[in-house]
Chains A and B, each alone.
Chain A
Amino acid sequence: MLRLPPFSFLRARDVAEAAGLLAEHGDQAMLVAGGTDLVPKMKRGQLTPTLLVGVGHLAELGHVSASDRGVEIGAGVTLARVAADARLGAAYPGYVQAAASVSSPALRNAGTIGGNLCVDTRCNYYDMSFEWRQALGFCMKKDGDVCRVAPASTYCRAIASSDTAPVAIALGATVVLVGPGGQRRELAAADLYQDDGRCYLTKQPGEVVESLRLPPPGGWRSAYVKVRRRHAIDFPLGGAAVALATTGPIIEACRIVLTAVGPRPLDVSAAAEPLVGRPLAEVLGGDVGLLAEVAAAAVKPAKPLDNADLHYVWRKQMTRRAVEQAIRQAARQPAPHGAPAATFGADAAGGAKRG
């Protein structure tokens, strides 16, 4: 049986303590909530912390609360809970689709939305056992200094593999981070990521993702289409998140964010420009060419490489298709309306999630 290397485990009393422990122990410490990403990677020697700080049990990370400013979801809320939340589904259908598409039911029972935002980048030269990587020669993401899929690359080309991050970005969500002293900062979800598979998050080592804040849904439809081989278990091989705002029948704005085509979620909203000012009906049926043009432009900056399942050219083609499908899906939805506080009653404040 493949086993974990030794480490210490501390159950944090609160988020501030967790942040403090991270700051104190530097790269020797990591947070664990669900552990669904961390534990396999530790078994394979890809991540090698000597201290795990348990945060899955913290009540302060387990809330779903609504106000006029939108909905805040604690980082410790499980993907299963989000996937089953009808109110979230009505307000942020794309986000809930994404949460429901992660892996399998048991993993969604353990995996958290904070964990999915921070899920390690993936690469089939990297997501291998210590012995496998040693046999090939280590790569720059762990223990080595070259990129195995693109040897000339100066940075790591491991793939952003979060299903929920692209939707969060498309919805204009923000992420609340807590630092070691308990200080909070809020940054756009898009700014949580950077274009290097090794250092793919911009958060400081001592910072803990406390919550995700989704802005009021007012007017924004959203959809997520995931490219994968099997309907369960698999990580995305590509995918598109779309958020679409309308005034009456007219498209006011459209954001498109791709996943699994590079080291960070790729915001390609500029490609949606031709849709703005056009009637929804054109998207839904009339102008097939328009949608194809937008989708082609959207995937143009995507540069998938041969470090995931199936052929990278197919992955790009499929991502283009995912863009079209996501736009269509979003356009078909009824426009979300009403203030979120009305949709989410005071009872929305959830209890703690057991780790």
Chain B
Amino acid sequence: MSGAGEKQVVRLTVNGEDHELLVRPHATVLELLREDLRLTGTKHGCELGECGACTVLVDGQAQLSCLLLPGQVDGACLTTIEGLADGPVLHPLQRAFAALGGLQCGYCTPGMLLAAKALLDTNPTPSRQQIKEALAGNLCRCTGYAAIVDAVEAAALGAVEAAAQDAVEAAALGAVEAAARTPR
């Protein structure tokens, strides 16, 4: 057996890219993503599995990266917030959160979006109660949650664009998409 803390090799696919990493066994997947891979879109809120901010998808399932050890994800496929959009095209959930006020400070948003994606991948037409239950482990201090439920519901129904009442609002929604392509 190797000594405590000695590094180990872990193979991972993150957002479709393969990585072979030499990692400390005690660095959580959260640290690995943020610090080794510099994918800082995944957030930390509590460090103890209590807030959901660090939610990522592991083989399609919502998992808390602050509790995951590298040795547990060897060979797995991870999706982080950086991998949610399809290239320059935002995921319907991303558009819905932007259009319907599903975010304010935005810090819980990456985890919230991934938990919502895990839900829609298994249940494409959830009820509002099912949305709340699926996201219940993700805390938000800004929104009061209602707009997040609205956003997930709209994304599921494919009704995001319908939220725009006129040309000005449609233009603003288009600006979100454009900004996603060319961050300032």
Residues of A within 8 A of B (CB): 1-11, 32, 34-36, 39-40, 43-44, 50-52, 54, 56-57, 80, 103-107, 109-110, 231-233, 354-355
Assess A354 versus B25: contact at CB under 8 Å? Given A43-B48, A52-B69.
no
Closest CB of chain A to B69's CB: distance in Å? 6
* Chain B positions within 8 Å of A10 at CB level: 1, 71
Residues of B within 8 A of A (CB): 1-6, 8, 24-28, 30-31, 44, 47-50, 52, 55, 58-59, 61-64, 66-74, 76, 115, 133-138
Query: Contact check: which of B26, B55, B74, B133 meets A11 at CB < 8 Å?
Result: B74
24 sample A-B contacts, Cβ–Cβ < 8 Å, listed by A number = A2-B47, A3-B26, A4-B28, A6-B26, A8-B2, A8-B5, A9-B71, A32-B72, A35-B68, A35-B69, A39-B66, A40-B67, A44-B48, A54-B71, A104-B52, A105-B133, A105-B134, A105-B135, A106-B52, A109-B61, A110-B63, A233-B136, A355-B71, A355-B73
Total CB contacts across the A-B interface at under 8 A: 118
Closest CB of chain A to B77's CB: distance in Å? 10
A40 to B136, CA, bound (A): 19
For the complex of A and B, 5 pairs with smallest distance between CB atoms:
A104-B137, A6-B5, A232-B136, A9-B71, A2-B47
Query: Contact check: which of A7, A39, A40, A355 meets B4 at CB < 8 Å?
Result: A7
A43 to B66, CA, bound (A): 10
Query: Contact check: which of B48, B58, B64 meets A354 at CB < 8 Å?
Result: B58
A135 to B49, CA, bound (A): 24
* Chain A positions within 8 Å of B136 at CB level: 104-105, 231-233
Are B26 and A232 in contact (CB-based, < 8 A)?
no
A59 to B26, CA, bound (A): 24
Are A2 and B48 in contact (CB-based, < 8 A)?
yes
Majority DSSP secondary structure for residues of A touching B:
loop
Are A7 and B72 in contact (CB-based, < 8 A)?
no
Additional A-B contacts beyond A1-B31, A107-B49 (11; CB < 8 A)? A1-B30, A3-B28, A6-B24, A7-B5, A10-B1, A39-B28, A40-B49, A40-B67, A105-B62, A109-B63, A110-B68
* Chain A positions within 8 Å of B133 at CB level: 105, 232
Closest CB of chain B to A23's CB: distance in Å? 14
Are A110 and B26 in contact (CB-based, < 8 A)?
no
A51 to B1, CA, bound (A): 9
Closest CB of chain B to A73's CB: distance in Å? 19
Are A50 and B47 in contact (CB-based, < 8 A)?
no
Assess A9 versus B25: contact at CB under 8 Å? Given A32-B69, A354-B76.
yes
* Chain B positions within 8 Å of A355 at CB level: 71-73
Are B137 and A8 in contact (CB-based, < 8 A)?
no
Are A106 and B62 in contact (CB-based, < 8 A)?
yes
* Chain A positions within 8 Å of B31 at CB level: 1, 3
Are B67 and A110 in contact (CB-based, < 8 A)?
yes
* Chain A positions within 8 Å of B135 at CB level: 105
Are A54 and B115 in contact (CB-based, < 8 A)?
no
* Chain B positions within 8 Å of A6 at CB level: 4-5, 24-26
* Chain A positions within 8 Å of B2 at CB level: 8
Are A52 and B71 in contact (CB-based, < 8 A)?
yes
Assess A50 versus B4: contact at CB under 8 Å? Given A6-B24, A106-B52, A106-B137.
yes
